[in-house]
Structure 1
Amino acid sequence: MVLSGAVKMSRKRSAESASLLKHVPDAKRACWGILTSQGSWADRSPLHEAASQGRLLALRTLLAQGYHANIVTIDHVTPLHEACLSGHVACVRALINAGANVNAATIDGVTPLYNCCASGSVGCMELLLQNGAHTHTHHAHFPSALHEACKRGNSQCVESLLSHGADPDHQVPHLGSPLYMSCLHRHTDCSKILLHRGASVNVGRADDSPLHAAVRQDSADQVAVLLDFGADVNSRDGDGQRPVELAHADGQTKCLLAAFEGSPRTLCQLCRLKIRNVIGRSRLKLLPLLPLPPVLTHYLEHM
């Protein structure tokens, strides 16, 4: 049977992608994910290559010769996507100065900001945010930069996104909340940042709470942080199970939850949680401006 032209091209692109990927380091290849899954290597321009490899002089020369900063592959991958994925700050700056769209999206909804979170490049991220990059997309099922940062444990990216107005409770239907994502992948530093910024401690994915996710991973550090911020030990997942019922019989989280249930939260903890809740997430950043003794400010900031 004769294959159609479209199928032939698809197979050719897949073969080319596989061949090229053999020469790419494992650490970098792991970041490409969605981009390479569509065969975007097949029609990359010299500008894409220069941006990906951080060759600033070549990139500037190509731009001067007439290459458009927003040139795309068939999958809508731009040179800016490539520069952010590889963490080349100088190339990102040059592309933005040449008019690159900081909110360009691939056919999979991947943005340059998302790629910064995948690679952990805070420098590239700050440039994008300073030049109008959106912290969230308008499509609920598109990849989320904040979720990607939490998944990979890039805490500095999480901090930067939240500082520029990202919603710590932003929901992606199939992923849940950013806090749920950080608990699922055992990144306690990301969880702490989200909670300090006012993330809802009990909002996870559907009926599954962040505490459920942390307990399944037997992550005692995560569980301790969640409990300190008011996690509900009596919440039930889709199967009707409480977190303690999911804990490994001889695991650290089992002991931690048992000890917690045997000694309720102190009045000091309850008051702090209540005051922070009344203040509201959007005003937590104003706490240092209140005319309070430092000890009270630190108490309310949960430092």
Structure 2
Amino acid sequence: MSYIYQWLDVPWGDGDMGSWADRSPLHEAASQGRLLALRTLLDQGCPVDSVTIDNVTPLHEACLSGHVPCVRALINAGANVNAATIDGVTPLYNCCASGNVGCVELLLQNGTHTHTTHTHYPSALHEACKRGNSQCVESLLSHGADPDYKVSNLGSPLYVSCLHQHAACTKILLHRGADVNVGGGRGDSPLHAAVRQDNADLVSLLLDYGADVNLRDDNNRRPREVAPDGGRAQQMLLSFEVSPRSLCQLCRLQIRNLLGRTRLELLDLLPLPSLLTHYLEHT
């Protein structure tokens, strides 16, 4: 079973895929959320990390189905929270595919890695951004996930979020200090991705966080040049070019850059008036 199924919107494990034929009763119980049966099987000595031919574990199944009690029971029984399938899919990735933040939190509290060691492997953060699961994005970033982590052929989480037009995920990433200009393939920036789809709300958000309107893709085109003719995004960029950022906006961007991403979360601790703190936080 290939990782590509994930990015074609076919949920992993859906249908008669190859690995289902060799699933154990523990896999079935975890997938269906049958907690009593799962505990009984564990008490009878079923290996908690039993795998299919594709290295799918019961924890993978429970996470994909979003069954928090089963995930907790498997973790308490010693399940490997960082187990990976032959395609590099982890339980955390499956949690982000299902959008269950409760499962995400359980894994993060029990030693799961926010990113794999190989940049070509699937990323939980990218999957959450692709599917618009903003609570999962928030949880991952709160536990130290890198908002600028790039995956081969996918680009940055911000680029994926803009490509799939998820404003809430985009806002969280930018608030947490994601680089607004780190994009994906073809030299595209997140602004290119938003503009191509004429998403004026995303374009406005990206510009507010300092998106560079002069970046060029691999075809030497700026965002305005890939915008649908006559669309809202094109009009917004045309207006921006004749009326650039105010001094107030420029100061905020400069201060945030000087603070650095790792210090942005400490803004509330600074002895500043709340109005100034909110200004720096874009709130």
TM range (shorter): over 0.9
The worse-fitting range, judged by mean Cα deviation, of 83-92 and 251-260 is 251-260
Query: What CA deviation, in whole Å up to 9, does each residue of 1:178-199 have, x standing for no partner?
Result: 0000010000111100000000
Q: Does 1:47 align with 2:26?
A: yes
Specify which of 195, 198, 217 is matched with residue 215 of structure 1. Answer: 195
Query: What CA deviation, in whole Å up to 9, does each residue of 1:129-187 have, x standing for no partner?
Result: 00000000001110000000000000000000000000000011210000000010000
Partner of 2:266: 286
The worse-fitting range, judged by mean Cα deviation, of 94-103 and 246-255 is 246-255
Amino acid at match of 1:151: K
Partner of 1:154: 133
Specify which of 231, 240, 245 is matched with residue 225 of structure 2. Answer: 245
Query: What 5-or-longer segments of structure 1 have no aligned partner?
Result: 1-12, 14-28
Instruction: Look at both structures and tell me which one has the larger radius of gyration over its CA atoms.
Output: 1
- Aligned equivalents of 2:69, 2:28: Cα separation in 1: 15
Superposed, 1:1-303 pairs within 5 Å as 30-32=10-12, 39-206=18-185, 207-303=187-283
Shift of 1:255: 1.0
Query: What 5-or-longer segments of structure 2 have no aligned partner?
Result: 2-8
Q: 1:262 to 1:302 in 2, by over 3 A?
A: same
Shift of 1:259: 1.1
- Aligned equivalents of 1:302, 1:193: Cα separation in 2: 11
Shift of 1:200: 0.3
Query: What CA deviation, in whole Å up to 9, does each residue of 1:267-288 have, x standing for no partner?
Result: 0000000000000001100000
Amino acid at match of 2:22: D
The question of whether the paired residues in 2 share the 8 Å contact of 1:38 and 1:75 is answered with no
- Aligned equivalents of 1:173, 1:205: Cα separation in 2: 9
- Aligned equivalents of 2:194, 2:262: Cα separation in 1: 26
Query: What CA deviation, in whole Å up to 9, does each residue of 1:12-35 have, x standing for no partner?
Result: x9xxxxxxxxxxxxxxx93226x8
Shift of 1:302: 1.3
Secondary structure, aligned partner of 1:31: coil
Shift of 1:217: 1.2
- Aligned equivalents of 1:31, 1:85: Cα separation in 2: 9
Q: What is the count of residue pairs matched by the alignment?
A: 275
TM-score of the pair, normalised by structure 2: 0.95
Taking only aligned residues, the RMSD between alpha carbons, in angstroms, comes to 1.4
Q: 1:155 to 1:165 in 2, by over 3 A?
A: same
- Aligned equivalents of 2:107, 2:223: Cα separation in 1: 40
The question of whether the paired residues in 2 share the 8 Å contact of 1:126 and 1:160 is answered with yes
Query: What CA deviation, in whole Å up to 9, does each residue of 1:99-128 have, x standing for no partner?
Result: 000000000000000000000000001000
The question of whether the paired residues in 2 share the 8 Å contact of 1:51 and 1:91 is answered with yes
Shift of 1:37: 8.7
- Aligned equivalents of 2:221, 2:17: Cα separation in 1: 39
Give % identity.
Answer: 75
Amino acid at match of 1:208: D
Q: 1:176 to 1:37 in 2, by over 3 A?
A: farther
